[in-house]
Amino acid sequence: MSATMYYEDDADHSLVAARKVAVLGFGSQGHAHALNLKDSGVDVAVGLRPGSFRESTASDAGLRVLTPSDAAAWADLIMVLVPDQYQQGLYAEAIAPNLQEGDALFFAHGFNIHFGYVAPPATVDVAMVAPKGPGHLVRRQYESGSGVPALVAVHQDATGGAKALALSYAHGIGATRAGVIETTFKAETETDLFGEQVILCGGVDELIRAAFETLTDAGYEPEMAYFEVLHELKLIVDLLFEGGLSWMRYSVSDTAEYGDVTRGPRIVTEQTRATMRQILGEIQSGAFAKEWMEEVAAGTPNLLAARRALAEHEVETVGADLRNMMPFLVAKTPEDDQ
């Protein structure tokens, strides 16, 4: 099985250009979609909660800013770009009352549609345009004349034109310049959650702390441990990104490569693989989604407690000191992003 790909010539720009597009949210994805569409000649309004600190950023950029309800009422294509855990509430409050027959409801991640937290009427198109990169890259690539690849999927084709409209939207944000892959809400949602849980976030985060603690418990300096198990990860990830696993193994020393192929399987064991399958099962059954939505409804107590505890870990405190020695790094803390 191989995925279907679409490029510039597969998209009809006039479809999105004929729409009034409401981008709800002006965060990572929201700012990139709204600005790219506007620069592509699309009529865009940004929907923001009154008093949002992003209001002036959006209006200074020349965008029309409305409340989410007003934006949804004005638009005939609504792109939902608020955090996934708030989409159900936003949909009920601002979107559902303003949906009309033939409108299009777009998402950049399938979570709420796939797990049924948002259930639009059968009279509207429901599709996904999900860039495979953070919003800042989506904007920067567009400005430089290029684009970030995206996934498109259609959940509900009320008008018969949902896929063509999704491709047109992907064109408007610059994604067809790079290439667009067709998928389903189910596949996008389940693979996205699996990736972030077992490797990209969960797996890597836990491996870093386990390796750091193993070295510091054995008496090695925490500064040495930090460089070895966290800082240098970027060099390896860059190689993977550029040329895949074999390029990484080719580029490291033979000693490192021998350690890789003989020791790696002892770290990721049959038990680890069995746990991966179990985690995938929890995603597929909806158990993870239910657990997360209940955590959100309770005010995310477990997430906040974990955030506090992990912030005090020595890998973080020693890391902050070491990064100060490296002015070539762009300092990044959650506070820098406010």
Residues that bind ligand NAD (CB under 6 A): 25-30, 49, 52, 54, 68, 81-84, 86, 90, 108-109, 130-131, 134-135
The tokens for 206 are: 């836990």
Residues 306 and 123: their CA atoms lie apart, in Å, by: 42
Closest separation in Å from C-beta 192 to Mg ion: 4
What is the nearest approach in angstroms of ligand NAD to the Cβ of residue 139?
Answer: 11
Q: Is 75 left (phi over 0), alpha (psi -120 to 50) or beta?
A: beta
Active site residue 109: yes
Please, which residue, 117 or 194, has the CB nearer to Mg ion? 194
CB nearer to Mg ion: pick between 40 and 189 = 189
The minimum distance between CB 217 and Mg ion, in angstroms, equals 33
Q: What angle do CA 3, 40, 149 make, to 5 degrees?
A: 25
| Residue number closest to ligand NAD, CB atom | 27
DSSP per-residue codes, 61-117: TT-EEE-HHHHHHH-SEEEE-S-GGGHHHHIIIIIGGG--TT-EEEESS-HHHHTTS
| Contact partner, 81, from Mg ion, ligand NAD, none, Cβ < 5-8 Å per class | ligand NAD
> Considering the complex, what minimum distance in angstroms separates the CB of residue 160 from Mg ion?
30
Q: 129: part of which helix (H) or strand (E)?
A: strand 125-131
Work out what residue 64 binds among ligand NAD, Mg ion, none; the CB cut-off runs from 5 to 8 Å by kind.
Answer: none
Does 188 sit near Mg ion (CB under 5 A)? no
- Give the closest residue to 123 by CA, choosing from 98, 107, 99, 91: 99
Catalytic residue among 109, 114, 155, 171: 109
Between 190 and 209, how does the x/- string for binding to Mg ion read (CB under 5 A)? Answer: --x-----------------
Nearer of residues 68 and 319 to ligand NAD, judged by Cβ: 68
Name the residue nearer to ligand NAD (CB basis): 31 or 318. 31
108 binds, among ligand NAD, Mg ion, none (CB under 5 to 8 A by kind): ligand NAD
How far is it, in rounded angstroms, from Cα 164 to Cα 147? Answer: 19
Q: Residue 117 binds which one of Mg ion, ligand NAD, none, with CB within 5 to 8 A depending on kind?
A: none
Name the residue type at position 182: E
CB closer to ligand NAD, 87 vs 168: 87
> How far, CA to CA in Å, does 234 sit from each of 230, 239, 240, 292, 294?
8, 9, 10, 30, 35
Least Cα distance to 330 among 203, 234, 264 occurs for 234
Cβ proximity to Mg ion: between 19 and 33 the closer is: 33
Q: What's the closest the beta carbon of residue 109 comes to Mg ion, in angstroms? A: 7
Q: Min. distance of Cβ 16 from ligand NAD in angstroms? A: 18
- The position carrying tokens 């990169």 is 133
Which among ligand NAD, Mg ion, none contacts residue 36 (Cβ within 5 to 8 A by kind)? none
State the Cα–Cα distance between residues 55 and 209, nearest whole angstrom. Answer: 39
The one-character DSSP state at 331 is -
Residue 3: Cβ within 10 Å count? 10
Closest CA to 177 of 204, 215, 213, 144: 144
Where in the sequence numbering do the catalytic residues fall?
109
Q: Which residues bind Mg ion (CB under 5 A)?
A: 192
